[in-house]
């Protein structure tokens, strides 16, 4: 077999159903063999979108997303997508063409040092120098991408290696001596954790993306109900616990609910599960939850005690460890006083927005999408105000239904990610909550959607601004609106020219009918919601403040 055939054979054995990418000179041998393959390939209109689509597919399914690009500019265009996946621990394999082995280092046409460029943004990467290593490398790449703390792995494949012939041997077993993730919690640590839980008067569960990665949502719910602890989550953790549950506190942090922030500050025990105490969550670190001891469950030891001192570290897989705790925990603490206090916070500081002016409140649009889809849609987001409102006003009940660039905060992510999610679940409604700024960053994917009948719905909260930057300029830069007033095309005409449906909505009463129409339409739909222009995302904790120093959003 040639190297190119080996790649395709390996992808098939790994169970790859769909990949995303773009051809080019140095990946031609691969694309030639792809011509005979039955693996579905989605030709995007930009390599960045291919990476985001693979990422969206991976987040929706938990499987490894695969993207393919040529050398040089093809590969560098993947970089933002790979970095996005890396920051959010998303399993992905990126395959890039490379110039012929003998030309590497010669500044050949379309040559770039792609393994060098992607080293800090991949979990691991490979430059394949010998076709005999290829099958093993692909097997390792999928294994590394999907195990432990997942992440993207890149394989750089010179064109001569794609053409070289060798016998195909599928490595049945993988053994990487230097890579042995820990999956079960140390029994001694579990016992110590249980002791702390039993002593707690004001316990709180703080859950992150690790709960979703490990599929620990049911154990999480069982534990929360068993110890009667309220649950808050990070942006990456959205969907790990039903938002409509009585113990739910919603998201915490900079734009989290005020009651989540007040609750965590007052807690005496934080059970952190698969979360990493990011600065958007903790606010000012030395003022964070002063009375709380921390039990930290994470599969990545380097996430523990990185930002916050931890009393009981437990390294391992969240699902296993929560299972271990549930099995051994008897006589849970009585937290009824604490839950009363938390409920008082909920009553005192509800999520809130003003609905007075003639313009459409952006939050209202998301509430209506929530109601129209009964909270059962897959929501992707761009980055900025649209993203924060999507965290606040849509009530997620299931893991893998909220897909958003958390760590890197990549504008232009949501639309291609929605394509990936929709391909994974063709029967589900997939909405991208977008802003008029973000959507213009990967708008070319309208062509991909229409061409492949990927019927995603894009709700553009069009306020004529780069809203979140404008908000910061309003609040912290004396309203000096520098380069945030952004023009947009006529989205209706634009959608039409691509063969999609565009709907313009300027009145509040037309919001719901437009959403219903979009859902019913068997096509990709752009809805241009002209929303209140200078609406802010509240509540808000200014950067660097303690997370109970909240501004705005009080009823």
Partner 1 sequence: MKHTIAVMVENKFGVLARVAGLFSARGYNIASLAVSETLDPQISAMTIVVQAEDEKILEQIKKQLNKLIDVITVIDFTKKEHAERELVLVKINYKPANKARIEKLLKKYLGKIIKIGKNTAVIESVGEQEQIKQLLDGLKVFGVKELIRTGKIAIAV
One of 35, 38, 173, 177 touching partner 1 (CB under 8 A): 177
Per CB under 8 A, 76 contacts partner 1 = no
Per CB under 8 A, 268 contacts partner 1 = no
Q: Identify the H or E element spanning 295.
A: strand 293-298
Neighbours of 532 (CB within 10 A): 20
Per CB under 8 A, 127 contacts partner 1 = yes
Question: Toward partner 1, which CB reaches closer, 177 or 340?
Answer: 177
Per CB under 8 A, 124 contacts partner 1 = yes
Which of the ranges 173-181, 272-280, 344-352, 363-371 carries the binding residues for partner 1, by CB under 8 A?
Answer: 173-181
Question: Toward partner 1, which CB reaches closer, 296 or 470?
Answer: 296
Using alpha carbons, select from 205, 255, 265, 215 the residue that is nearest to residue 235: 255
Question: Toward partner 1, which CB reaches closer, 64 or 224?
Answer: 64
Helix axes 362-372, 385-393, angle to 10 degrees: 50
One of 35, 244, 286, 302 touching partner 1 (CB under 8 A): 302
Per CB under 8 A, 123 contacts partner 1 = yes
By CB neighbour count within 10 A (0-12 exposed, 13-18 middle, 19+ buried), where does 493 fall?
exposed
Question: Toward partner 1, which CB reaches closer, 116 or 513?
Answer: 116
Which of the ranges 113-121, 350-358, 408-416, 483-491 carries the binding residues for partner 1, by CB under 8 A?
Answer: 113-121
Residue 461 CA to residue 527 CA, distance in Å, equals 9
Report CA-CA distances (Å) from 270 to 223, 229, 230, 249. Answer: 13, 10, 10, 14
Per CB under 8 A, 178 contacts partner 1 = yes
Per CB under 8 A, 533 contacts partner 1 = no
- Cβ 282 to partner 1, closest distance in Å? 15
Per CB under 8 A, 444 contacts partner 1 = no
Question: Toward partner 1, which CB reaches closer, 178 or 482?
Answer: 178
Residue whose tokens read 């093809």: 74
Per CB under 8 A, 198 contacts partner 1 = no
Triad 490, 394, 202: Cα angle to 5°: 145
Which of the ranges 162-170, 172-180, 235-243, 421-429 carries the binding residues for partner 1, by CB under 8 A?
Answer: 172-180
Question: Toward partner 1, which CB reaches closer, 114 or 403?
Answer: 114
Per CB under 8 A, 105 contacts partner 1 = no
Per CB under 8 A, 331 contacts partner 1 = no
Per CB under 8 A, 305 contacts partner 1 = yes
**Residue 35 CB partners (closer than 8 Å, separation 6+):** none
What the block records as the tokens of 283 is: 């606010």
Triad 471, 476, 479: Cα angle to 5°: 65
Question: Toward partner 1, which CB reaches closer, 120 or 290?
Answer: 120
Question: Toward partner 1, which CB reaches closer, 299 or 411?
Answer: 299
One of 41, 179, 184, 472 touching partner 1 (CB under 8 A): 179
Report CA-CA distances (Å) from 50 to 82, 183, 251, 413, 473. Answer: 10, 31, 29, 10, 33
- Cβ 271 to partner 1, closest distance in Å? 21
- Cβ 213 to partner 1, closest distance in Å? 16
- Cβ 179 to partner 1, closest distance in Å? 5
What the block records as the tokens of 72 is: 């040089």
One of 10, 49, 85, 144 touching partner 1 (CB under 8 A): 144
Residue 549 CA to residue 545 CA, distance in Å, equals 6
Which of the ranges 177-185, 320-328, 340-348, 376-384 carries the binding residues for partner 1, by CB under 8 A?
Answer: 177-185
Per CB under 8 A, 116 contacts partner 1 = yes
Per CB under 8 A, 138 contacts partner 1 = no
Q: Identify the H or E element spanning 232.
A: strand 231-233
Per CB under 8 A, 272 contacts partner 1 = no
**Residue 261 CB partners (closer than 8 Å, separation 6+):** 252, 253, 539, 541, 547, 548, 550
Question: Toward partner 1, which CB reaches closer, 164 or 304?
Answer: 304
Neighbours of 290 (CB within 10 A): 9
Q: Identify the H or E element spanning 379.
A: strand 378-381
- Cβ 177 to partner 1, closest distance in Å? 6
Residue 355 CA to residue 361 CA, distance in Å, equals 6
What the block records as the tokens of 485 is: 């007033």
Per CB under 8 A, 301 contacts partner 1 = yes
**Residue 374 CB partners (closer than 8 Å, separation 6+):** none
- Cβ 307 to partner 1, closest distance in Å? 10
Neighbours of 197 (CB within 10 A): 21
Per CB under 8 A, 115 contacts partner 1 = yes
- Cβ 89 to partner 1, closest distance in Å? 12
- Cβ 181 to partner 1, closest distance in Å? 10
**Residue 367 CB partners (closer than 8 Å, separation 6+):** 393, 394
- Cβ 151 to partner 1, closest distance in Å? 10
Name the H helices within 232-384. Answer: 258-266, 279-282, 318-328, 336-348, 362-372
Where does this chain bind partner 1 (CB under 8 A)?
115-116, 119-120, 123-124, 127, 144, 176-179, 300-302, 305-306
């Amino acid at each position: 077999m040639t190297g190119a055939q080996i790649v395709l054979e390996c992808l098939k054995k790994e169970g790859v159903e769909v990949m995303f990418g773009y051809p080019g000179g140095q990946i031609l041998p691969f694309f030639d063999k792809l011509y005979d393959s039955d693996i579905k390939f989605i030709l995007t209109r930009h390599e960045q979108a291919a990476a985001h689509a693979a990422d969206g597919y991976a987040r929706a399914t938990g499987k490894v997303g695969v993207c393919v690009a040529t050398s040089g500019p093809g590969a560098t265009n993947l970089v933002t997508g790979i970095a996005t996946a890396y920051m959010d621990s998303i399993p992905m394999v990126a395959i890039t063409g490379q110039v012929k082995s003998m030309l590497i280092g010669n500044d050949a046409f379309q040559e770039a040092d792609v393994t060098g460029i992607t080293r800090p943004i991949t979990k691991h990467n490979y430059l394949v120098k010998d076709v005999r290593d290829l099958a093993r490398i692909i097997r390792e790449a999928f294994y590394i991408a999907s195990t432990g703390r997942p992440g993207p792995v890149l394989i750089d494949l010179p064109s001569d290696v794609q053409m070289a012939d060798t016998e195909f041997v599928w490595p049945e077993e993988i053994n990487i001596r230097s890579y042995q993730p820990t999956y079960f919690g140390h029994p001694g640590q579990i016992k110590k954790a249980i002791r702390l839980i039993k002593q707690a008067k004001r316990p709180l569960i703080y859950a992150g993306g690790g709960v979703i990665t490990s599929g620990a949502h049911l154990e999480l719910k069982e534990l929360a109900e068993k110890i009667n602890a309220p649950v808050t989550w990070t942006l990456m953790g959205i969907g790990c616990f039903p938002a409509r549950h009585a113990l739910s506190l919603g998201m915490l942090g900079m734009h989290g609910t005020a009651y989540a922030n007040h609750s965590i500050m007052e807690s005496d025990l934080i059970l952190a599960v698969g979360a990493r105490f990011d600065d958007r969550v903790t606010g000012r670190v030395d003022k964070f939850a002063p009375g709380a001891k921390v039990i930290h469950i994470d599969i990545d030891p380097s996430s523990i005690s990185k930002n916050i001192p931890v009393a009981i570290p437990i390294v391992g897989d969240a699902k296993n460890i929560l299972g271990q705790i549930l099995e051994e925990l008897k006589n849970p603490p009585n937290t009824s006083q604490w839950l009363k206090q938390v409920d008082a916070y909920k009553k005192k500081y509800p999520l809130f927005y003003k609905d007075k002016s003639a313009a459409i409140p952006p939050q209202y649009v998301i509430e209506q999408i929530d109601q129209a889809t009964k909270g059962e849609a897959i929501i992707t987001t761009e980055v900025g105000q649209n993203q924060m409102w999507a965290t606040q006003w849509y009530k997620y009940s299931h893991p893998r239904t909220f897909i958003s660039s958390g760590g890197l905060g990549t504008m232009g992510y949501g639309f291609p990610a929605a394509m990936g999610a929709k391909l994974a679940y063709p029967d589900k409604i997939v909405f991208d909550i977008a802003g008029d700024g973000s959507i213009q960053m990967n708008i070319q994917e309208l062509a991909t959607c229409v061409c492949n009948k990927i019927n995603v719905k894009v709700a553009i909260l069009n306020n004529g601004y780069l809203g979140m930057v404008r908000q910061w300029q309003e609040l912290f830069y004396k309203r000096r609106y520098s380069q945030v007033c952004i023009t947009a095309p006529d989205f209706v005409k634009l959608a039409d020219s691509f063969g999609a449906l565009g709907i313009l909505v300027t009145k509040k009463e037309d919001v719901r009918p437009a959403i219903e129409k979009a859902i019913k339409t068997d096509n990709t739909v752009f809805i241009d919601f002209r929303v209140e222009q200078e609406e802010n995302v509240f509540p808000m904790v200014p950067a660097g403040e303690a997370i109970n120093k909240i501004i705005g959003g009080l009823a």
